[in-house]
Amino acid sequence: MPATPYYLIDKSKLKSNMEKIAYVREHSGAKALLALKCFATWSVFDFMSEYMDGTTSSSLYEVKLGRQKFGKETHAYSVAYSDDEIGEVIENADKIIFNSISQLTRFADQASGIVRGLRLNPQVSTSSFDLADPARPFSRLGEWDVAKVEAVMDRISGFMIHNNCENADFDLFDQMLGNIEEKFGSLLARVEWVSLGGGIHFTGENYPLDKFCARLKAFSEKFGVQVYLEPGEASITKSTTLEVTVLDTLFNGKNLAIVDSSIEAHMLDLLIYRENAKVLPNTGDHPYMICGKSCLAGDVFGEFDFENEIKVGDRISIQDAAGYTMVKKNWFNGVGMPSIVIRELDGTERVVREFTFDDYVSSLS
């Protein structure tokens, strides 16, 4: 058993998500691209590529990672490309999606030999976080003026529309897609492909997959387009834990347990969105606040109930530690970076990456 902390990717749980994605692909005709901004741990890409069609990206480095480590279709998107990277992006992509008409126009000649698309912004979304809402007021994410888009239709063959965020409600997805059809229908009928982005939690428990597939298929047939989905969180939900060890216990009005990890360093989204981690089963008569080891006063995973008193040396598994987590890990406070461990389908575990002091030093200058 490796030393903690480490991220543990359980392939059997990952496979459950992959099989649902494969089901949607088969029954809807949609293609599925892994959103690398959410999850980019390429040690499991060979496994995931058996169930998915490729990757979509948000930067040059993600484009290259997708091309080199995942293969299959490689979609490139960025809020803005720079002059010194656009050539390399095009070299590594099958499709390039521009965020704005000005970027599309600026790089029209360089991108003339590759399939091009444009991001549309429906100006409505499912996000409950303004920080993550692509349709927030004054959003820079995509074009919304149909007349302006019509003027550049000869330069593109598809659209990307991303306005779902943690949306586990099929009826809400259906309503949102209806809004897209109403607002952009005249444009959608003139292109060959449409990506509906990510944020659709269709691999969650009790999600009506057959209704979802039928809706996607109807959309595809109505406009004559190849539909793409960009599952990030949906691809890896509940597949990964952060394994930590208790280093100390204290009492300061509440029982505190300090572990060998940190939310700012290893689960940054908890801090950004002011959310608690998940610990299962979270039942029992012994409440504890689980705290990180960094010097940040608010480095707290959350408060949970345990069956027994917590002691130094106890192990705790923090749930859902893959999406927007492993890609955001950092060296804050010089806290040791978690290793990456994979549990194979037969139950065996192997360490695929360990990080050392040399990695810490090389990340600086």
The radius of gyration of the chain from alpha carbons, rounded to an integer in Å, stands at: 22
Which pLDDT does position 129 carry in this prediction?
85
Residues 312 and 208 in one domain: no
Range of the domain at 88: 12-235
Q: How many CB atoms lie within 10 A of CB 84?
A: 8
Q: Mean pLDDT for each consecutive 10-residue tract of the chain (365 residues)? A: 94 98 98 98 98 98 98 98 98 98 96 97 89 91 97 97 93 96 97 97 97 98 98 98 98 98 97 95 97 97 98 98 97 97 98 97 96
Per-residue model confidence (pLDDT) at position 1: 76
Residue 186 tokens read as 């005249």
Q: Where are the alpha helices (DSSP H) in 201-262?
A: 209-223, 233-236
Asked, for residue 1, whether it belongs to a domain, the answer is no
Residue 188: predicted pLDDT: 98
Does a structural domain hold residue 4?
no
- Tell me, what's the pLDDT at 305? 98
Instruction: Give the closest residue to 257 by CA, choosing from 279, 281, 286, 288.
Output: 288
Pairing of strands 286-291, 300-306: antiparallel
Which residues does 281 contact at the CB level (< 8 Å), separation at least 6? none
d(Cα 22, Cα 15) in Å, to the nearest integer?
Answer: 10
Domain ends where: 187, 205, 235?
A: 235
Which pLDDT does position 95 carry in this prediction? 98
**How confident is the model at residue 358, as a pLDDT?**
98
Residue pair 358/278 in contact by the 8 Å Cβ criterion: no
Category of 200 on φ-ψ map: left (φ > 0), alpha (ψ -120 to 50) or beta? beta
Q: Which residue among 201, 235, 269 closes a domain?
A: 235
Residues 231 and 247 in one domain: no
Cα separation, 163 vs 202, whole angstroms: 15
- The pLDDT value recorded for residue 128 is 82
Question: Are 39 and 82 contained in the same domain?
Answer: yes
Question: By C-alpha distance, which of 9, 39, 5 is closest to 231?
Answer: 39
